[in-house]
């Protein structure tokens, strides 16, 4: 569940938390685009490092590290698949550039997780809903979205209880071969899904009995306004994106391997 | 036998749920753990089958330290029925649901068949054998969950809030069943808020508050002691309330049983005639 922990919002105040969520989202999308257009190790490393100051400024280092640790498993799989395929197509020899490529692909994934983690760690579900609403997305969708985000920790907790209940009936999650282990999770997943559906129906009924959707034109107590910090972030975002596209189009990016004069 | 030796337990999020609990539960005992919400009742019983391991102190089940064995091994001996049946139901039919644990423990096919039939009959579920557990009502689902644990006949049975959502008839059946367990020298531990149910069964009561045991003894003593009950935020059973109010007339205060109450009141009315 550590991946979820890395996305769980905790109320603290920092310059990053106070930024307009819409701008933060644009920033995350820009990082996303930049990470996709590069497949070399050096620019991806830079993209990774650019975000570290944000994490420190927001004071969410611990949670962020936890989400990074949670992403480790997938990262290793990405590294291995990339490396093994390159290794096979290169004719079963380890080539420095292949190793570098596999590293770069892994880092690309890490950069994506990193930016989303920073976004979710510093944006409260309420803020997020507000941002969606004020971008004129129908309220029903905004509500569905914020509810989904809000219920992630609840589901994580429930998954733990279900695991306990099944263990108490003699289920051993860590036993058997690979396929058996996957099958072991069926008794966990089904109750989890069923109760999520049941809960959503109950929530719908509870909300309707409290006159949800009675007024057509909703107004908000809080209205999002841009501040100086937001403008700075827009500038940074535009800078990163423009630089990334410019470099991609007009420069050949040397690989680390070439810079070091070829290791293998 | 379960021996709890001075255990403390702190959840990963820093909440101290148990702050030094010691307790011995002998074979064949019927024990009710009571207390307000968040007193640590469920946390305590989760230590008995190894789902939680104490941060400090130790728990021994039949002399075996729970830290040293897996939950599955302990579960063979200690059956635990969770409060919410929806946390465990997943099979296509009630029958498969009840057979799940038996398969996990490696029972033979014909034994499984027999035990499933026995458990379903015991809990009035035979007619739902081939029904999906998700189609049943809340109370019925709860009974399926109970059947799925009873099926392997554990030596120690733990029930978390077994009476919630059950009508009087089912409660009475549960009571009869627990008495049967007692006769077989099996241990039953219930976690409950249902004072009336406890008053009818008259088990040993362990009262918890804020991660500690505040009282331990016969239900008749504990459920009629106003000071202890106020401390643990529990309302006495109705019969006890009446007798507490009538104590000015010189009647005994520690009455929780209907038949005993009747006898006393009849005596009083005869005396007055």
Q: Which two tokens stand for residue A194?
A: 């069923």
Beta-bridge partners for B60: B3, B65
- What pLDDT is stored for residue A57 in this prediction? 87
Q: A198: which chain B residues are within 8 Å (Cβ-Cβ)?
A: 86
- What pLDDT is stored for residue A182 in this prediction? 84
| Residue of A105, A110, A112 whose CA lies nearest to A81 | A105
Angle between helices B109-122 and B94-104 (to 10 degrees): 130
For chain A, which residues lie within 8 Å of any Cβ of chain B, measuring from their own Cβ? 158, 161-162, 164-172, 186-187, 190-191, 194-195, 198
Is the Cβ pair B104, A162 closer than 8 Å? no
Is the Cβ pair A170, B101 closer than 8 Å? yes
What predicted TM-score, i.e. pTM, was given to this entire model? Answer: 0.75
pLDDT in tens, B127-160: 999 999 999 988 899 999 999 999 999 999 999 9
The enclosing H or E element of A28 equals helix A21-37
3-class secondary-structure state, position B27: coil
Residue B81: φ, ψ to 5°: -100, 120
Alpha carbons A127 and A223: distance in angstroms, whole number: 10
Answer whether B76 touches A (CB < 8 Å). Answer: yes
Alpha carbons A220 and A174: distance in angstroms, whole number: 49
Higher-pLDDT residue of A181 and A193 is A193
Closest Cβ–Cβ partner in B46, B84, B149 for A169: B149
For an interface test with B, the pick among A164, A170, A188 (most B C-beta atoms closer than 10 Å) comes out as: A170
Is the Cβ pair A164, B82 closer than 8 Å? yes
Give ipTM to 2 decimals: 0.86
- What pLDDT is stored for residue A81 in this prediction? 92
Pairing of β B156-160 and β B187-191: parallel
Answer whether B47 touches A (CB < 8 Å). Answer: no
Q: Are B154 and B62 in contact (CB under 8 A)?
A: no
- What pLDDT is stored for residue A213 in this prediction? 80
- What pLDDT is stored for residue B247 in this prediction? 83
Q: Distance from first CA to last CA of chain A, Å, rounded?
A: 40
Is the Cβ pair A187, B100 closer than 8 Å? yes
**CA nearest to B92 within chain A:** A190
Q: Specify the range with the lowest mean pLDDT, choosing from A182-196, A214-228, B23-37, B131-145.
A: A214-228
Q: Are A145 and A129 in contact (CB under 8 A)?
A: yes
pLDDT in tens, A54-97: 888 888 888 888 888 888 889 999 999 998 988 888 888 777 88
Q: A196: which chain B residues are within 8 Å (Cβ-Cβ)?
A: none
Q: A200: which chain B residues are within 8 Å (Cβ-Cβ)?
A: none
Is the Cβ pair A172, B70 closer than 8 Å? yes
Closest Cβ–Cβ partner in B46, B75, B90 for A187: B90
- What pLDDT is stored for residue A261 in this prediction? 67
| Residue of B215, B227, B272 whose CA lies nearest to B253 | B227
The answer for residues whose C-beta is within 8 angstroms of residue A260's C-beta and 6 or more apart is none
Is the Cβ pair B71, A167 closer than 8 Å? yes
- What pLDDT is stored for residue A264 in this prediction? 47
Is the Cβ pair A169, B104 closer than 8 Å? yes
Alpha carbons B199 and A247: distance in angstroms, whole number: 79
B208, pLDDT greater than 70: yes
3-class secondary-structure state, position A192: helix
Q: Are A111 and A49 in contact (CB under 8 A)?
A: no
- In angstroms, the separation between the Cα of residue B185 and the nearest Cα of chain A is 22
Determine the average pLDDT of the residues in B184-199.
Answer: 92
Using H for helix, E for strand and C for coil, what is the string for B153-193?
Answer: CCCEEEEECCCCCCCHHHHHHHHHHHHHHHHCCCEEEEECC
User: Residues A173, A174, A176, A181: is their CA dihedral positive or negative?
Assistant: positive
Compute the 3-state secondary structure of chain A and give helix, strand, coil in percent, each to the nearest 5.
Answer: 70, 0, 30
Beta-bridge partners for B65: B60
Q: Are B79 and B150 in contact (CB under 8 A)?
A: yes
Determine the average pLDDT of the residues in A248-253.
Answer: 83
Pairing of β B187-191 and β B30-35: parallel
Q: A194: which chain B residues are within 8 Å (Cβ-Cβ)?
A: 86, 89-90, 134
Is the Cβ pair A168, B148 closer than 8 Å? no
Determine the average pLDDT of the residues in B26-38.
Answer: 92
Number of inter-chain CB pairs under 8 A, A vs B: 62
Mean pLDDT rounded to a whole number for chain A? 85
- In angstroms, the separation between the Cα of residue B197 and the nearest Cα of chain A is 25
Q: What b/e sequence results for B101-111 when a residue is b if at least 16 CB atoms lie within 10 Å of its CB, and e otherwise?
A: bbebbebeeee
3-class secondary-structure state, position B32: strand
Determine the average pLDDT of the residues in B49-54.
Answer: 94
Say how many C-beta atoms besides its own lie within 10 A of residue B166's C-beta. Answer: 20
Q: Are A124 and A24 in contact (CB under 8 A)?
A: no
Q: Which two tokens stand for residue B156?
A: 């120690």
Find where tokens 């423990």 sit: B105
B273, pLDDT greater than 80: no
Alpha carbons A190 and A222: distance in angstroms, whole number: 40
């Amino acid at each position: 569940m550590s991946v979820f922990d890395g996305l769980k919002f905790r109320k603290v105040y920092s310059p990053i938390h106070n930024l307009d969520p819409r701008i933060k989202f644009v920033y995350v999308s820009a990082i996303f685009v930049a990470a996709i257009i590069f497949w070399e190790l050096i620019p991806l490393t830079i993209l990774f490092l650019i975000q570290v100051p944000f994490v420190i400024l927001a004071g969410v280092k611990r949670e962020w590290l936890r989400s990074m640790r949670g992403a480790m498993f997938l990262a290793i799989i990405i590294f291995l698949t990339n490396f093994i395929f390159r290794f096979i197509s290169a004719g079963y020899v380890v080539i420095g550039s292949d190793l570098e490529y596999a590293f770069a692909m892994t880092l690309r994934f890490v950069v994506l997780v990193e930016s989303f983690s920073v976004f979710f760690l510093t944006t409260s579900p309420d803020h997020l809903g507000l941002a969606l609403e004020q971008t004129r997305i129908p309220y029903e969708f905004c509500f569905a979205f914020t509810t989904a985000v809000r219920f992630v920790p609840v589901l994580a907790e429930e998954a733990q209880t279900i695991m306990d209940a099944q263990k108490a009936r003699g289920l051993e999650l860590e036993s058997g071969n690979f396929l058996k282990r996957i099958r072991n999770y069926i008794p966990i997943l089904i109750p989890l899904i069923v109760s999520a559906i049941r809960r959503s129906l109950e929530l719908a009924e509870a909300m309707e009995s409290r006159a949800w959707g009675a007024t057509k034109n909703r107004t908000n107590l809080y209205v999002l306004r841009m501040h100086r910090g937001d403008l700075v972030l827009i500038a940074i975002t535009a800078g990163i994106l423009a630089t990334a596209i410019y470099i991609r189009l007009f420069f050949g990016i040397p690989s680390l391997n070439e810079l070091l004069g070829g290791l293998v | 036998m379960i021996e709890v030796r001075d255990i403390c337990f702190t959840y990963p999020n820093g909440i101290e749920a148990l702050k030094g609990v010691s307790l011995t539960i002998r074979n064949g005992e019927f024990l009710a753990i009571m207390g307000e919400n968040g007193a640590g009742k469920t946390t305590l019983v989760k230590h008995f089958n190894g789902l939680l391991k104490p941060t400090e102190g130790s728990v021994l089940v039949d002399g075996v330290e729970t830290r040293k064995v897996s939950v599955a091994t302990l579960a063979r001996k200690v059956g635990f029925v969770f409060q919410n049946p929806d946390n465990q139901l997943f099979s296509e039919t009630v029958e498969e649901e009840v057979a799940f644990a038996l398969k996990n423990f490696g029972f033979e096919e014909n034994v499984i068949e027999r035990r499933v039939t026995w458990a379903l009959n015991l809990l009035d579920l035979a007619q739902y054998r081939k029904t999906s557990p998700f189609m049943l009502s809340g109370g019925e689902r709860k009974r399926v969950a109970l059947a799925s644990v009873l099926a392997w006949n554990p030596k120690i049975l733990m029930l978390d809030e077994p009476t919630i959502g059950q009508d009087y008839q089912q409660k009475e059946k549960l009571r009869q069943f627990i008495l049967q367990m007692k006769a077989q020298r099996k241990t039953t531990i219930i976690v409950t808020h249902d004072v009336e149910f406890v008053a009818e069964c008259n088990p040993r009561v362990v009262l918890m508050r804020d991660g500690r045991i505040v009282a331990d003894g016969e239900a008749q003593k504990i459920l009629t002691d106003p000071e202890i009950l106020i401390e643990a935020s529990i309302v006495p059973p109705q019969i006890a309330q009446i007798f507490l109010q009538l104590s000015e007339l010189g009647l005994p205060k520690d009455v929780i049983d209907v038949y005993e109450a009747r006898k006393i009141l009849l005596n009083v009315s005869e005396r007055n005639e």
